[in-house]
């Protein structure tokens, strides 16, 4: 069958919006929702950190996406599954057992979202030429971040407005119903994305061997009417050979997976690389879980007592815009003098602004201009520092299996965020917000030291314009 041709502009923006939105729904939206629903900081941090596990281990099942059906099929199937998960979260929120039920739904959605990431990125590479892949990379990243703004900003603000009765006065104070309406909206969005992509995403793959074999079987069956059953024998032989081919492909994939892991951990400087990957964001991994909870918490608990609507506006819009600007500035910096020159300043940029939260917690300033400015500075520095982190992962993955090694590195990156995040709530409850943020600042020191070590191993030319 001749592939359908359609402009990449028709599907890239919506595909990467669909990739970003569920990730931020799990990792950010759920944090604020559970806090609004009355869970403690330690419960929120622990539960939502566990939800990051599928993104850590997704390299384990990513090779099998190639074996079973097409990447377009997986994209559509996961979008449908995420729509169902959003609907289930909305349905269970008003119940007495909402924590257990919604956590199960979030876990399902996290698995579907991680699988969607694999399929969407693979489809992007199949559907576009190398030239178009480079041309559209900025567009895909922009719409991924639009998913972030919508998830962390617009939807949080919507939940706050609903709970405060500004949009539907009759549900004022009903936090569970307000959040349920937000998740029903997410369900409707993903049903729309599924239907749209069913039409807009061209069929660029021929399918797996089983599908091909089935097509050959149908053709052989028609031919059998005039060839006295010779086709039936051919069909059986084809099915046998295809089954053997699939088994061989699965075994080969397992061998490749093992070889990928072995070669990754045999790379030069693997010890310092792991130290860098796992500690560079050690402070940020804990700050990111607790900072929104601190801003929402009442002054009696040491927080700032801001409304959900205000927090959505600060973090989801102002914070994300500052983050994007930081990434742009970082790209300009590295292109001019290389990553080796900037790695230490960039490590300081991501870590030093954490001190601003110590000041906020100590003084308990609630002026929106002060809070907004501090958040923007911290997120701007994070954008600069995170760019350095990702560039180092690209550098370390170079060589044979670079795509698979990059996937492994990003899995370790996710582990470096999720595992410390699990204890952040316990530390916050134990120490109180001011002392917790001091503890976070101490946790930034290993990452800064790791940047100093890595700097000695980086080639001066890496990242610099030719």
Average pLDDT value for residue range 21-28: 88
Question: Which burial class, exposed, middle or buried, applies to 431 when counting CB atoms under 10 A from its CB (0-12, 13-18, 19+)?
Answer: middle
What's the CA gap between 5 and 62, in Å, rounded? 26
What pLDDT is recorded for position 225? 43
Using the predicted structure, report yes or no on whether residue 211 has a pLDDT greater than 60: no
| Of the candidate ranges 182-186, 211-215, 378-382, the one whose mean pLDDT is the lowest | 211-215
Rounded to 10 deg, the angle between the 339-351 and 282-296 helix axes is 30
Average pLDDT value for residue range 273-298: 92
Contact of 203 with 1, CB cutoff 8 Å: yes
Average pLDDT value for residue range 418-427: 89
Which residue did the predictor score with more confidence, 132 or 92? 92
Instruction: Report pLDDT digits (tens) over 357-386.
Output: 999 999 999 999 999 999 999 999 998 998
Average pLDDT value for residue range 180-194: 96
Average pLDDT value for residue range 58-74: 79
Task: Tell me, rounded to whole angstroms, the distance of Cα 171 from its chain centroid.
Answer: 32
What pLDDT is recorded for position 206? 61
Using the predicted structure, report yes or no on whether residue 104 has a pLDDT greater than 80: yes
Please check whether the domain covering 1-207 is classified as CATH 1.10.10.10.
no
| Of the candidate ranges 68-82, 176-190, 246-260, 332-346, the one whose mean pLDDT is the lowest | 246-260
What does pLDDT average to over the chain? 84
Using the predicted structure, report yes or no on whether residue 394 has a pLDDT greater than 60: yes
Average pLDDT value for residue range 408-432: 88
Q: List Cβ<8 Å contacts ≥24 apart for 91-100.
A: 91/180, 93/37, 93/176, 93/177, 93/179, 93/180, 93/183, 94/176, 94/177, 94/180, 98/37, 98/176, 99/34, 99/39, 99/47
Average pLDDT value for residue range 397-402: 78
Structure tokens that stand for 192 in this block: 């729309």
pLDDT grade, residue 354 (50/70/90)? very high
Contact of 136 with 12, CB cutoff 8 Å: yes
Fold of 268-466: Growth Hormone; Chain: A; (1.20.1250)
Share of the chain above pLDDT 70, in %: 87
The reply to whether 268-466 shares the fold of 1-207 is yes
Phi, psi of 392 (to 5 degrees): -65, -40
Domain coordinates in residue numbering, the chain:
1-207, 209-261, 268-466
Contact of 450 with 351, CB cutoff 8 Å: no
What's the CA gap between 127 and 125, in Å, rounded? 6
What pLDDT is recorded for position 253? 67
What's the CA gap between 179 and 412, in Å, rounded? 32
Percent helix, strand and coil across the chain, each to the nearest 5: 80, 0, 20
């Amino acid at each position: 069958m001749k592939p359908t041709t359609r402009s990449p502009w028709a599907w890239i923006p919506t595909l990467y919006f669909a990739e970003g939105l569920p990730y931020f729904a799990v990792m950010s939206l759920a944090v604020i929702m559970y806090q609004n629903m009355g869970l403690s900081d330690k419960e929120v941090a622990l539960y939502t950190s566990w939800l990051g596990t599928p993104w850590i281990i997704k390299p384990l099942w990513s090779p099998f996406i190639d074996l079973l059906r097409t990447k377009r099929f997986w994209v559509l199937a996961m979008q449908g599954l995420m729509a169902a998960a959003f609907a289930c979260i909305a349905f269970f929120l008003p119940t007495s057992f909402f924590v257990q039920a919604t956590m199960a739904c979030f876990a399902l959605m996290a698995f579907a979202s991680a699988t969607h990431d694999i399929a969407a990125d693979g489809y992007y590479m199949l559907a576009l030429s190398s030239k178009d892949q480079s041309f559209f990379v900025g567009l895909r990243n922009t719409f991924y971040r639009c998913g972030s703004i919508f998830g962390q900003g617009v939807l949080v603000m919507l939940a706050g407005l609903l709970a405060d009765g500004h949009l539907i006065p009759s549900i004022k104070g009903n936090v569970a119903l307000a959040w349920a309406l937000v998740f029903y909206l997410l369900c409707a969005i993903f049903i729309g994305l599924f239907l749209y992509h069913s039409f807009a995403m061209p069929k660029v793959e021929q399918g797996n061997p089983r599908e091909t074999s089935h097509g050959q079987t149908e053709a052989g069956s028609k031919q059998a009417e005039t060839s006295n059953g010779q086709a039936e024998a051919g069909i059986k032989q084809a099915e046998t050979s295809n089954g053997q081919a699939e088994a061989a492909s699965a075994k080969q994939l397992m061998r490749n997976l093992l070889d990928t892991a072995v070669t990754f951990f045999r790379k030069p400087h693997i010890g310092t690389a792991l130290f860098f990957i796992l500690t560079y964001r050690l402070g940020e991994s804990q700050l990111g879980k607790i900072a929104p909870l601190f801003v929402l918490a009442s002054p009696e608990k040491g927080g700032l007592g801001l409304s959900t609507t205000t927090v959505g506006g600060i973090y989801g819009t102002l914070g994300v815009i500052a983050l994007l600007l930081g990434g742009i500035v970082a790209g300009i910096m590295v292109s001019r003098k290389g990553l080796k020159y900037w790695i230490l300043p960039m490590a300081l940029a991501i870590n030093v602004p954490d001190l601003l939260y110590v000041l906020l917690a100590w003084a308990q300033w609630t002026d929106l201009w002060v809070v907004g400015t501090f958040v923007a500075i911290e997120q701007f520095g994070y954008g600069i520092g995170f760019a350095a982190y990702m560039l180092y992962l690209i550098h370390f993955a170079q060589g044979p299996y670079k795509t698979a090694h990059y996937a492994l590195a990003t899995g370790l990156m996710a582990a470096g965020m999720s595992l410390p995040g699990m204890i952040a709530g316990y530390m916050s409850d134990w120490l109180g917000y001011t002392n917790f943020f001091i503890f976070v600042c101490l946790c930034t020191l290993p990452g800064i030291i790791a940047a100093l070590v890595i700097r000695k191993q980086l080639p001066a030319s890496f990242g610099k314009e030719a």
